[in-house]
Amino acid sequence: MKLMTDDDHQRIAEAIRAAEIRTSGEIYAVVARRSDSYFYVAGFTLAICVLLASAIVAIAAHWYWTHITLPTFGLAILAAFVSCMLVLWLLPGVSLWLVPRRIRYKRAHLNAVQQFLARNVHLTSERTGILLFVSLAERYAEVIADAGIHAKVEQDEWNSIVSVLVGHARRDSLAEGFLIAIEKAGILLEKHFPAGPDTANELDDHLVEL
């Protein structure tokens, strides 16, 4: 199932083309549903919780003179662990609640870098490509600029574009967020890298959904 309608895709493609007419820079847009399954990270968290709960139960049983045989106790721990893994397997959305934000953001950033390289945004002739990236499950957005742009544009200017993408994603108006972000990015690129007579379109003008 697509994240955005065909009309949204068309509007975003037209916005990219309109922005790139005024600049030698290149704009590429990617949106991902999520950047990782987090199954193993969440599984590790649950395993620690099961072990801690088991220790509490063992201390309580000893305190209240309750007898639990070692095989029974071991099987109970195993059953609890298997049940937790089944929950993660059947309800993958639960895993996000068990993963620290720092790890979620690191995985989303890694995905953004991979897309930047995989989509050849780093191979434009003047090193003036930028990637607008959003990962919805992590509520994460990022602008990755190639070396030619990064040397001239301050990070605060990219942060304002990131804020637009994150804010609109939270309001379930991601297409509008991309349209505004593309326009703002085009203005920045035009300021530092205006179009010349030999400016060529080196990257596809569309939004990629992952």
The CATH number of whichever domain residue 22 belongs to comes to 3.10.310.50
Q: Is residue 137 part of a domain?
A: yes
- For residue 66, pLDDT beyond 90: no
Cβ-based burial of 139 (10 A; exposed 0-12, middle 13-18, buried ≥19): middle
Residue 1 lies in a domain: no
User: Taking residues 39-67, what's their average pLDDT?
Assistant: 78
* The predicted structure's pLDDT at residue 116: 93
Closest CA to 11 of 161, 183, 185: 183
Domain count, the chain: 2
Q: Is residue 62 part of a domain?
A: yes
113-121 long-range CB contacts below 8 Å, 24 or more apart?
113/144, 115/30, 115/32, 115/208, 115/210, 116/144, 119/28, 119/30, 119/203, 119/208, 120/203, 121/26, 121/28, 121/146, 121/203
Asked whether residue 93 falls in the same domain as residue 115, the answer is: no
* pLDDT in the model for residue 110: 95
pLDDT for the residue 13: 93
Whether 186 and 118 share a structural domain = yes
Higher-confidence position of 148 and 186? 186
One domain for residues 122 and 146: yes
Of all residues in the chain, the percent with pLDDT exceeding 90 is 33
Q: Which residue has the higher pLDDT, 118 or 51?
A: 118
Instruction: Kindly state whether residues 25 and 90 are assigned to the same domain.
Output: no
Domain end: 98, 127, 147, which one? Answer: 98
* pLDDT value of residue 108: 93
Same domain, 69 and 104: no
Predicted pLDDT of residue 31: 95
* Domain hosting residue 66, numbered range: 39-98
Q: In whole numbers, what is the pLDDT of the chain averaged over residues?
A: 85
* Domain shared by 57 and 18, yes or no: no
10 Å Cβ neighbour count for 61? 13
Q: What is the mean pLDDT of residues 69-92?
A: 77
Q: How confident is the model at residue 164 (pLDDT cuts 50, 70, 90)?
A: very high
Is residue 188 included in any domain, yes or no? yes
pLDDT for the residue numbered 16 = 93
Task: Among 69, 98, 127, identify where a domain stops.
Answer: 98
User: Domain check: are 132 and 160 in the same one?
Assistant: yes
Instruction: Tell me the range of 41-50, 62-71, 154-163, 168-177 where mean pLDDT is highest.
Output: 168-177
